[in-house]
Amino acid sequence: MRSSRLLAFLLLAALWAPGAVAAAPSPRRPRVDREAMREAMDAAASDEGAFSSSASYTQFLRARLSHHAGNHRAAVDSLRLALATNDGHPLLLTRLAEEYARLGDLDKAERELRRAVERAPAYYPAHVLLGRVLLESGRFTRARLHLRRAMALKPREPEAYLVLAQLYLETGSVAEAVRVVDSLARALPGEASGYRRLGLALAERGDILRAERLLKEAATRDPGDVEVLGTLAKLYEETGRPARSEETLARALEREPDSEEVLLAAGRSALKAGSLVRARAYLDRLLSLSHEPETAVRVAFIYLSGREPDAAVEVLAAARASNGQEPRLAYYSGLVREKMRRFADAAEDFAAVPEGSDVFADARVRRARCLSLAGQHSPALSLLRAAFQAAPEDLEVRAQYARALERGGAPARAESLLKEGLSRGVSASLYDALAGTLHRQGRGGEAVALLSDAVTRTPRDQALLYVLGAACERHGDLAGAQARMRAVLAVEPDHASALNFLGYLLAQSGKDLDEAERLVLRALELRPDDGAFLDSLGWVYFRRGDYPRAVEALERAVSQAPDEPVILEHLGDAYQRASRGEEAAGVWRRALEVLALDPESAEPLGQRETLERKLKALSMGAAGR
């Protein structure tokens, strides 16, 4: 075989550069990809069966070069030529099937693989790839047969186990997938890949308990896997174990001390564990590694979510001092102050964004909104008028302009502006803005009627159905709101916001709490980090009387949305029922502080008075004791 391989290389050299074997290299001669050549030789040496001719082997090598160049059609042509002189070779058939699969032709891939397993029933690679192809084609039973056959042929090769675990995961048999990776671990003690892949997939799906167990096993086998440690730390953080999260991230930093994502996560965990000092150590290290404006704003938002607004402002001020000509820093500083509801300061930051910047248009609209919320109506309207003239088709600009007009005492002009926009075409966002305007004028019934008429014309428009449901809820028609949210789900069963809204409505009514929990949990599967969805889950538990679980879910909600008055109020309610009165008073006061800065964030409109009554009743109860 050695002589035939030498001949193959000579033939291949002749194909590349005729007459160049003994001559100096031509400057136009293609570069030889030696790594691809070595990979092809290794593959041929390790796979079963010898090549019957040097011509067949040469075509196989050319196919591998085409494969690595991404030219799978050329690889197919070369492999077909190889098979012409070496018909039925299992390696060539399997490689040909792989190229067909990469071209998206699964039928041809399956045909070649069936030929391969007929010719060589014990050929492991063909069974594995056939299992993959059948999995992609949705023929799960037959895929399982071939993957099980591959596992029996080579029980210490991990690939078949991994594909079979993927199959079970995709068909919803999570317990079977776990059993497969456990089998791989028994066959190969110390092997981490099965636990790693399945653990990461389950973490992404929100299956926290099983994901945690698998990832801990993976980390035991491979202590230096930073992605596994980072995901495990995130699970600890999401389940209220920030100290454990920080400890795990510290292990990851021992392996990769300059990992920006790990440093960011460690800073967040340290803040949640109550240590600003440790958080600063991690985040200052991160800032020393990167001077990109985006890094500074990410750190600032970490501080902001950890209820350390002064540290957030400090980070952005330092970044602006060292990068004074970078307009995005002024923009990001405005975003942070806007998030803090310091609207006048945010408007100043947005004003520093120059007109030529790529973020100028958004900065102008945000500046106008902040001025409007700060009560500076004249400059706000002037800015929005200019923005509207520059982009009359921008629906967000139109909606913001209308809201500013309403704040400035011109609700009729706001209504006219929105209706004029709707005359140009149906827009759920403009209908939502108009419904809100009418509701604030005490015309909620008119808003519902207007939206009902729009839905009649487009009954399967899920965005309009959702807006109508929200309008019904604001107007006090809870049955109508539930019906509209169910209509949204009839059109789009995985509409996360509608799932959450309907679950929350059911929880508010105190009826069908099991269905409410199911709906909200499904919404959280789709968007696991949504603070509003976690709030709904906590409220389901609250209405059921399970106050410890309500506190746990609502604390997680507050960690995701730390300045939402309704979530803070719900957490205070849960603390009170759990006999944690001092903590209840603390979060209710925080909610009042937010409402003082931003009265529009009240939900419902009389929320401030409700919170004050709760605080008064709590203090009277404490005094009575």
State residue 297's pLDDT score: 86
Query: What is the CA 85 to chain-centroid distance, rounded?
Result: 50
pLDDT in tens, 250-308: 999 999 999 999 999 999 899 988 899 999 999 999 999 988 888 998 999 899 888 88
User: How far lies 440's CA from each of 259, 432, 434, 471, in Å?
Assistant: 49, 12, 10, 11
Q: How far apart are CA 136 and CA 371, in angstroms?
A: 54
Q: Is the pLDDT of residue 362 over 80?
A: yes
Q: Determine how many CB atoms are found less than 10 A away from the CB of residue 560.
A: 18
Crossing angle for the helix pair 260-272 and 293-305, to the nearest 10 degrees: 20
Task: Provide the pLDDT for residue 49.
Answer: 54
Would you state the structure tokens that stand for residue 440, as one six-digit string? Answer: 């604030």
Residue-wise pLDDT for 472-486, tens only, equals 999 999 999 999 999
d(CA 155, CA 186): 10
User: Sign of dihedral through CA atoms 570, 574, 577, 582?
Assistant: negative
DSSP state of 337: H
The pLDDT of residue 534 is 96
- The C-alpha atoms of residue 9 and residue 331 are separated, in whole angstroms, by 61
Residue with tokens 């965990």: 269
pTM of this structure = 0.68
Q: What is the pLDDT of residues 211-221, one digit of tens each?
A: 999 999 999 99
Please state the φ and ψ torsions of residue 6, each to the nearest 5 degrees.
Answer: -60, -45
Structure tokens at 357: 């910047």
- Closest among 373, 421, 340 to 381, alpha carbons compared: 373
- Check whether 618 has a pLDDT greater than 60: yes
Structure tokens at 175: 């317990």
Q: Which residue has the tokens 């539930």?
A: 482
pLDDT of residue 281: 95
Q: Rounded to an integer, what distance in angstroms lies between the CA atom of residue 558 and that of residue 564? A: 8
Torsion of CA 141, 142, 147, 150, to 10 degrees: 140
| Band (237; pLDDT cuts 50, 70, 90) | confident
Q: Can you give the pLDDT at residue 273?
A: 86
Backbone angles phi, psi at 525, to 5 degrees: -60, -35
pLDDT of residue 238: 81
Average pLDDT over residues 324-330: 83
Q: What is the pLDDT of residue 34?
A: 52
Rounded mean pLDDT, 169-178? 94
pLDDT at 22: 36
pLDDT tens string 585-605? 999 999 999 999 999 999 888
Q: Comparing 184-188, 318-322, 416-420, which segment has the lowest mean pLDDT?
A: 318-322
For helices 496-509 and 513-526, give the axis angle rounded to 10 degrees. Answer: 150
Summarize the confidence of residues 100-120 as an average pLDDT. Answer: 94
Structure tokens at 446: 């008119």
Task: Please give the average per-residue pLDDT across 340-353, as a whole number.
Answer: 95
Q: Which residues contact 223 (CB under 8 A, 6 or more apart)?
A: 251
Question: Tell me, which fold does domain 426-493 have in CATH?
Answer: 1.25.40
The dihedral of CA 196, 200, 202, 203: what is its sign?
Answer: positive
> Do 426-493 and 499-625 have matching folds?
yes
CA distance 536 to 504: 5
User: Does pLDDT of 408 surpass 90?
Assistant: yes
Sign of the Cα torsion 441, 442, 443, 448 reads positive
> pLDDT band for position 33 (50/70/90)?
low
How many percent of the chain have pLDDT more than 90? 77
Q: Is the pLDDT of residue 372 over 90?
A: yes
What does the DSSP 8-state code read for residue 25?
Answer: P
Q: Which of 295, 270, 296, 293 is nearest to 281 (CA)?
A: 270
What per-residue confidence (pLDDT) applies to 559?
Answer: 84
Kindly list the domain boundaries of the chain, sorted by start residue. 426-493, 499-625
118 has pLDDT over 70: yes
Other beta carbons less than 10 A from residue 107's beta carbon: 9
235: which 2 tokens? 């699970």
38-51 per-position pLDDT tens digit: 444 444 444 455 77
What is the pLDDT, as a whole number, of residue 129? 95
Per-residue pLDDT, averaged over 557-565, amounts to 90
Measured at the CA of 260, the angle between CA 254 and CA 264, to 5 degrees, comes to 95
The mean pLDDT value for 561-565 works out to: 91
* The CATH number fitting domain 499-625, selected from 3.30.70.20, 1.10.10.60, 1.25.40.10, 2.20.25.650: 1.25.40.10
Average pLDDT, the chain: 89
Query: pLDDT tens, 453-478?
Result: 999 999 999 999 999 999 999 999 99
User: How many CB atoms neighbour CB 523 within 10 A?
Assistant: 27
Can you list the positions of beta strands (E) in 357-420? none
% of the chain at pLDDT higher than 70? 91
Pick from 459, 398, 389: nearest CA to 424: 398
